[in-house]
Structure 1
Amino acid sequence: MCIFWPPRLVLAMLMPILVTSEYEYVSWKDLGDSYGKSPQCVDIPEDLRLCYTVGYHRMLLPNLLEHETMAEVKQQAGSWVPLVHKRCHSGTQVFLCSLFAPVCLDRPIYPCRNLCESVRDSCTPIMEAFGFPWPEMLNCSKFPQDDMCIAANVTDVAQSPGNSPTCPPCDNEMSTEVILEHLCASEFAIRTKIKEAKIENVDKKLILQKKRKQMKPGSLKKEELRKLVLYLKNGANCPCQQLENLRSNYLIMGRKVGKRYLLTGIHKWDKSSKEVKKALKRLQSQKCPIYETSFK
């Protein structure tokens, strides 16, 4: 039996389905030492941004990804917030939160394989544009096909890039939170102008002006900065409004993937760029999620 889980779930509506199910499940309390620490029902904290608005307010800890503390859940879940904001699939938040913050019931309810596959197929192009693969920990073959599980709703659809041709790194909302998310997901950030943008195979190649100021140096060395050329992955034919005016200053973010540097974000920077400046200031004091461990 599959459960079609709307974004704003009323838990009482779900309970009769669970109680009358023909399937037999081992309860969380009976999992014992095979699971580790005994699961507890706790409130979803407001700063667990990935799941605070998912539609229910209590979660089981440890979760279905074997995170035993709330601090670990927050650190790992924070890496996925930008993907939800990209709206690549309407079921992305429900799928991720069913694992990071499983609903507080007497038994674990996993996402169905079809929900995983639907989200994966819609969101992988977005993740790859930022240099991240679909992680092994979310391998869809691990999830059930015909047991009780959280299924993809018939109304769940891919929202981007299918509905928006804009290149993912260019589709940036000018808010402090979103800019900070992109800064955290990037290995480095610089302020510069773009000399030239040209197509190379299926990508777009960005040649930068010589004057470059590091805003988040990361592991980028001076020699690498001097020779830096960025690529907009699969960006040959998708619009990027920021590249239409090469005379402007930009906050340009990137990651090294293999032997190339990928563009992960680009924001116009001028005297009115208050949100950019706020994000950079907060970056100095805020601890970013660790993307390298989340996307393995």
Structure 2
Amino acid sequence: MNSLASLFLWRIITLVLPLVSLSQTSEYDYPGWNPNFPGGDTFYNKPPQCVEIPDDLRLCHNVGYDKMLLPNLLEHETMAEVKQQAGSWVPLVHKNCHPNTQVFLCALFAPVCLERPIYPCRWLCENVRDGCTPIMEAFGFPWPEMLTCEKFPQDDVCISAPNTTDASKPTGHSPVCPPCDHEMKMDAILEHICASEFVIKSKIKEVKREGTDRKVILQKKKKLIKMGTLKKKDMKKLTLNLKNGADCPCAQLENLGNTYLIMGRKVDKQHLITGIHKWDKSSKEFKKTMKKLKSHKCPAFENVF
């Protein structure tokens, strides 16, 4: 191993030992250019800095290290840009579609401070993509172009992940319809609300199967908690779709007597359900969440999908 690789290894041992795999490397300076990554030959307008990962960068605030490079590896030059883009991914991490989703995303959004940029390994991208795509599709999201796995290195120094055993391989599906997976804590529910375009309190009138989806028809009486992309005319005859939800279990849709907190977003001409929780006044966690929501300020972020 040459002296440069030895230096990298020492830094990696002290910072992120479980996350990085090493192989033969070539030298280039930061902000350096990565011939394997589009845009890598574009120099940043700002010199790289090592900065604290802020608490409100929820995607990566507990990733295992405290400081990150800015600009990051997605060419976000300010922390505001990082927060705007990263916020869209927080609900996906909560869905546990792959055990290394956060490792992969934070390697790009909040890269660890080293002498040179270290990109995720291609196989790590492929594993996360294959595990998370079915869940993303349930929310109407494609795997984004900016994360095309062929862009990432195979035989250079790259970010790997711990526990690369059969147990950590993606299953390719969720046993419960992803929007119906409701065992979430207050912070997770608030983040999910913030990431959704609209939020409604309502009872459900009827559920119908429509191809591979389920169509959810709401009662006339409903309360709009977050308007987002909805318009008043949409509310009169609002029907929601549980995408790819015809066959997966969703306990909420089996009991139409309850009131629900329903989150969603508009994709093309459909209003998709992205989350549905029982409006449970007997739950201390739910009551705490609804109380917190009154004063909670959602971060501004742009959808990256």
Please give the TM-score of this superposition, normalised by the length of structure 1. 0.86
Q: Is 1:222 aligned to residue 226 of structure 2? A: no
5 Å-filtered alignment, 1:267-278, equals 267-272=277-282, 275-276=285-286, 278=288
Which of 32, 52, 55 matches 2:61?
A: 52
* Residue 148 of structure 1, CA deviation: 1.9
Match of 1:249 in 2: 259
5 Å-filtered alignment, 1:45-194, equals 45-151=54-160, 154-155=164-165, 157-158=168-169, 162=173, 164-194=174-204
* Residue 45 of structure 1, CA deviation: 2.4
Q: Deviations over 1:162-205 (max 9, x none)?
A: 4x410000002243212212211221111111111121111111
Q: Distance in 2 between matches of 1:254 and 1:15?
A: 34
Which stretch has the larger CA shift, 194-203 or 24-33?
Answer: 24-33
The one-letter amino acid paired with 1:192 is S
Please list every run of 5 or more consecutive structure 1 residues that lacks an aligned counterpart in the other structure.
2-7
Which of 11, 15, 34 matches 1:11?
A: 15
* Residue 240 of structure 1, CA deviation: 0.7
Q: Deviations over 1:263-290 (max 9, x none)?
A: 1111111433554455455365413342
Match of 1:206 in 2: 216
The one-letter amino acid paired with 1:11 is L
Q: Classify 1:219/1:17 alpha carbon distance in 2 versus 1 (closer, same or farther; 3 Å).
A: closer
| Aligned partners of 1:251 and 1:267 also within 8 Å | yes
Give the % identical residues.
64
Q: Is 1:286 aligned to residue 289 of structure 2? A: no
Q: Deviations over 1:91-120 (max 9, x none)?
A: 111100110111111011111111111111
* Residue 10 of structure 1, CA deviation: 4.9
Q: Deviations over 1:9-38 (max 9, x none)?
A: 7527489976xx642221216669823311
Q: Classify 1:285/1:13 alpha carbon distance in 2 versus 1 (closer, same or farther; 3 Å).
A: closer
Q: Classify 1:17/1:133 alpha carbon distance in 2 versus 1 (closer, same or farther; 3 Å).
A: closer
Q: Classify 1:197/1:191 alpha carbon distance in 2 versus 1 (closer, same or farther; 3 Å).
A: same
Please give the TM-score of this superposition, normalised by the length of structure 2. 0.83
The one-letter amino acid paired with 2:29 is S
How many residues are aligned here? 285
Q: Distance in 1 between matches of 2:75 and 2:252?
A: 41
Per the alignment, in what secondary structure is the counterpart of residue 34 of structure 1?
coil
Per the alignment, in what secondary structure is the counterpart of residue 97 of structure 1?
helix
